[in-house]
Amino acid sequence: MNDTRLIRVVDDDPELRRSLGWMLGGAGLAAELYTSAEQFLERDDLHRSGCVLVDVRMPHMDGLELQRRIRRRGSQLPVVVMSGHADVPTAVHAMEEGALSFLEKPFTKDELLGVLGRALQRADELVQREAAHRADLARIADLTPRELEVMRLVVGGELTKRIAQQLGISERTVDKHRERILAKTGAESWAGLTLLAARLELVSGQPVEALATA
């Protein structure tokens, strides 16, 4: 059980909470149990991969509100909402708010594991996407602001002559920048750099400084 992904169970019903933990443990999944949405928000490490399994109906803060709070904290942790009722409006609402799935109690282990499987897959994707993003950022991390400026203009389709004019430098200097950019980012061609810039949304004219500090 080297899985680092953690399933957070948030349910005010102690038996349901404990039994879910017991079942997930039997299925080889790590679970953390929370008695309330408040306790989750107070203690959980949102950076840890996994998903949240939350009862929609709880006193004080309900499942939907918890999902809202998680998003507000900038986390994309997948949320699975459980409900004791076939309450269609609540289910629709939950999905609209970005819940990954809606489980009606009582559910079977297979149903739960199926939904959790999808949630964890989403979590893995998030992890990978984040890793790729970090790698992309690492490639441009050593570029000077001037080099970033030149790169943005090059991938934007500007010719060396126009760039030199725009920046008030010589065409030779522009060429030197281009060579250094290729070397620093490890790109083999400008086509590859164009894709990297697109992933980092450099083309849209976003201030380079903001990107560098992201």
Partner 1 sequence: MSTGRDQRQTEPGSVERTPAFPSDAFDHLVSQIDDVFWLYDCQRERVDYVSPAYDRVWGRSAARLLADPLDGLNNAVVAEHREEVRRAFLAGLESGRFEAKYRIRLPDGSERWIHDRGFPIRDPQGRVVHFAGVARDFTERKLTQDRLRESEAFLRATLDALPAHIAIVDPQGVILAVNRSWRQFAECNGLAAPDHAVGLNYLKVCDDAVGPDAAVAREVARGMRGVLDGSQSELMVSYPCDSPDERRWFELRVARFETNRCPLLVAIHLDVTARRRAEEQAVRQQAELAHVARVATIGEMAAGIAHELNQPLSAIANYAEGCLDRVGDDRRPRSDLVDALVHIRNLAQSSGAIIRRLRSAARKSEPRRSSICLNAAVRETVELVRYELETDGVVLEMQLADHLPVVQGDAVQIQQVLLNLLLNAQSAVRHREQPRLTIATRSGKNDVRVSVVDNGPGFGAVAPDRMFESFYSSKPDGLGLGLAISRSIVEAHGGSIWAERVDGCSFFHFTVPYSRPDIASGPPPGVSETGRRLGPAQHKEATA
In the list 1, 60, 88, 213, the residue contacting partner 1 (rule: CB under 8 A) is 60
Helix axis angle, 109-139 to 190-199, nearest 10°: 130
Q: Which of residues 104-133 bind partner 1 (CB under 8 A)?
A: 105-109
59 binds partner 1 (CB under 8 A): yes
Candidate list 22, 183, 204, 214; residue touching partner 1; CB under 8 A: 22
101, β-bridge pairs: 80
Among 23, 126, 167, 211, binds partner 1 (CB under 8 A): 23
Closer residue to partner 1 (CB): 4 or 22: 22
Q: At its nearest, how many Å lie between partner 1 and the CB of residue 37?
A: 14
Our finding on whether 84 is near partner 1 (CB under 8 A) is: yes
Residue from 19, 121, 165, 204 touching partner 1 (CB under 8 A): that is 19
User: Which amino acid is it at 46?
Assistant: L
What's the min distance (Å) between Cβ of 115 and partner 1?
A: 14
Instruction: Find the helix or strand (DSSP H, E) in which 90 lies.
Output: helix 88-96
Does 18 interact with partner 1 (rule: CB under 8 A)? yes
Per rule CB under 8 A, is residue 20 in the interface with partner 1?
Answer: yes
The alpha-helical segments, DSSP class H, found in 140-185 are: 145-155, 160-167, 171-185
Helical (H) or strand (E) element with 116: helix 109-139
Helix (H) or strand (E) holding 3: none
CA atoms within 13 A on the CB side of 17: 17
Helices and strands (H and E) in the chain: how many: 10, 5
Q: Which residues bind partner 1 (CB under 8 A)?
A: 13, 15-16, 18-20, 22-27, 57, 59-60, 84-85, 105-109
